[in-house]
Amino acid sequence: MAKVIALLGALDTKGAEYGFVKQCIEARGHKTLLIDVGVLEPPAVRPDIPREEVAKAAGAHLSALAGKKDRGEAVAAMGRGAAALLPRLYAEGKFDGVMALGGSGGTSVACAAMRALPLGVPKVMVSTVAGSDVSGYVGVKDIVMIPSIVDVAGINRVSREVFARAAGAICGMVETQVPKGKDKPLLAASMFGNTTPCVSAAKAILENAGYEVLVFHCTGAGGRTMESLIEAGLVAGVLDVTTTEWADEVVGGVFTAGPTRLEAAARKGVPAIVAPGCLDMVNFGAPETVPAQFRGRTFYRHNPNVTLMRTTAEECRRIGEIIAGKLNLSTGPVTVLVPLKGVSMIDLEGQPFHLPEANQALFEALKKNLRKDIPVIEMNNQPSE
């Protein structure tokens, strides 16, 4: 059966390239949906979705963007518009996969739109930046990045090969039928080295009860990925016992998952159990990478490349207030577990991060600011139990 592949790009500067890719895809028996995100010159190839519609989706006027001749503003606006438009087109069944070509600006626009699509929708980006760190473009979505090798500037001996193979890749992706499995209800769990025994024990119990458990390591990307899967509707419940990424977000560590961490389950109404796991620690790299402003604090060398810093009572109080605020957004059932003997394995009595006054500030802030209908269960056991 023929599929429809959306081709997203600036059809004024990249018309020849998109015309070539369109031919490659249609030679495989599929159809294309050309979406123009150009701004300045008239499109060289006739689009199916004009640039005016993309700009409108961003709440912008194309004539105003063109008149300013500000490339940065135009790229940002068309990225917002494409990110608003593509999910709607996909929900309406207008395409089955998406492909784009571009330099840094085109990659920014196209990847913003691709990140707005659900996991599992085929996404291919041929880009001049694909050989470098592309985490800022890809985020936590399943975008396949293909290096363009040469600039995306016409059809030549090298680009012809790269573009044709990329077209073949997106065709193969939309043609592939994912085999059905004996899927069990899916649960997400957050884990760190210092909560591993707890999560491993819970995982075994849940799997014996008939669930499949996905475990996410809370290194920033792990938390964002978990939130993305919850937002996509793939998760039936969350065991979020390692909320450590909020310590990095508040204090300035390297493992922050951003200011929306804990919001996906709350807003989607997904049942959740939440605990303040590893909120005793802020993460940095090797010791020499710790910012000078933190000299004199309590540190623990987790390994040669990870240095942990103990959170203070005031930092814990602020973290507790924020987490309570996030959980107060919950539209589904949520329960908070409070581990009275310590929030990590190195926070136990006699361990390097044992600081009862900081934990007390954290627990009090959580309980004081939580909605009264959210249950709080105080657990008089260690994180490893």
Of 243, 180, 248, 184, the residue nearest 213 (C-alpha): 184
- Whether 356 is in a domain gets the answer yes
Mean pLDDT in the chain? Answer: 94
For 223-246, what is each residue's pLDDT tens digit? 999 999 999 888 999 999 999 999
Task: Answer whether residue 384 shows pLDDT above 80.
Answer: no
- Whether 54 is in a domain gets the answer yes
pLDDT on residue 308: 96
Select from 140, 175, 210 the last residue of a domain: 175
For 8-27, what is each residue's pLDDT tens digit? 999 988 889 999 999 999 99
- Whether 362 is in a domain gets the answer yes
Same domain assignment for residues 147 and 235: no
Q: Is-contact 240 273, C-beta < 8 A?
A: yes
Distance CA 326, CA 307 (A): 28
Same domain assignment for residues 199 and 157: no
Same domain assignment for residues 86 and 46: yes
Task: Answer whether residue 383 shows pLDDT above 80.
Answer: no
Domain with residue 129: its CATH number is 3.40.50.12020
Beta bridge partners of 256: none
Domain with residue 221: its CATH number is 3.40.50.12030
Same domain assignment for residues 105 and 194: no
Same domain assignment for residues 130 and 269: no
pLDDT on residue 382: 62
Same domain assignment for residues 165 and 199: no
- Whether 384 is in a domain gets the answer no
Per-residue pLDDT band at 74 (split at 50, 70, 90): confident
Backbone region of residue 102 per phi and psi (left: phi > 0; alpha: psi in -120 to 50; beta: other values): left
Q: How many domains does the chain have?
A: 2
Same domain assignment for residues 45 and 193: no
Same domain assignment for residues 33 and 123: yes
pLDDT on residue 186: 94
Residue 213 DSSP SS3: strand
- Over residues 341-345, mean pLDDT: 93
Residue 88, Cβ neighbours under 10 Å: how many? 11
pLDDT on residue 207: 95
Same domain assignment for residues 134 and 196: no
User: Which pair of tokens denotes residue 90?
Assistant: 């996909």
pLDDT on residue 202: 95
Least confident interval from 7-11, 30-34, 70-74, 220-224: 70-74
- Over residues 205-217, mean pLDDT: 96
DSSP for 223-249, please give it: HHHHHHHHHTT--SEEEE---THHHHH
Distance CA 100, CA 124 (A): 7
- Whether 385 is in a domain gets the answer no
Q: Report in angstroms the alpha-carbon separations of 340 from 148, 275, 343.
A: 54, 11, 8
Per-residue pLDDT band at 69 (split at 50, 70, 90): confident
Q: Report in angstroms the alpha-carbon separations of 260 from 86, 108, 137, 219, 223.
A: 22, 21, 18, 15, 10
Residue 14 DSSP SS3: coil
Per-residue pLDDT band at 72 (split at 50, 70, 90): confident
Task: Answer whether residue 385 shows pLDDT above 70.
Answer: no
- Whether 124 is in a domain gets the answer yes
Select from 124, 156, 175 the last residue of a domain: 175
Look at strands 299-303 and 306-310 and give their pairing: antiparallel
Per-residue pLDDT band at 329 (split at 50, 70, 90): very high
- Over residues 135-149, mean pLDDT: 93
- Whether 181 is in a domain gets the answer no
Backbone region of residue 296 per phi and psi (left: phi > 0; alpha: psi in -120 to 50; beta: other values): left
- Whether 180 is in a domain gets the answer no
% helix / strand / coil in the chain, to the nearest 5?
A: 40, 20, 40
- Over residues 96-112, mean pLDDT: 95
For 252-267, what is each residue's pLDDT tens digit? 999 999 999 999 999 9
Same domain assignment for residues 25 and 67: yes
Residue 335 DSSP SS3: strand
pLDDT on residue 68: 85
Distance CA 59, CA 41 (A): 21
- 342 contacts: CB under 8 Å, gap ≥ 6: 280, 348, 349, 351, 354, 359, 382, 383
Same domain assignment for residues 170 and 190: no
Residues of the chain with pLDDT > 70: what percent? 99
Looking up tokens 């330099």, which residue turns up? 103
Select from 175, 195, 224 the last residue of a domain: 175
Per-residue pLDDT band at 317 (split at 50, 70, 90): very high
Instruction: Please give the distance of CA 204 from its chain centroid, rounded to a whole number.
Output: 27
Note down the domain range covering 280: 186-379
Looking up tokens 């309590």, which residue turns up? 298
Same domain assignment for residues 18 and 89: yes
pLDDT on residue 131: 87
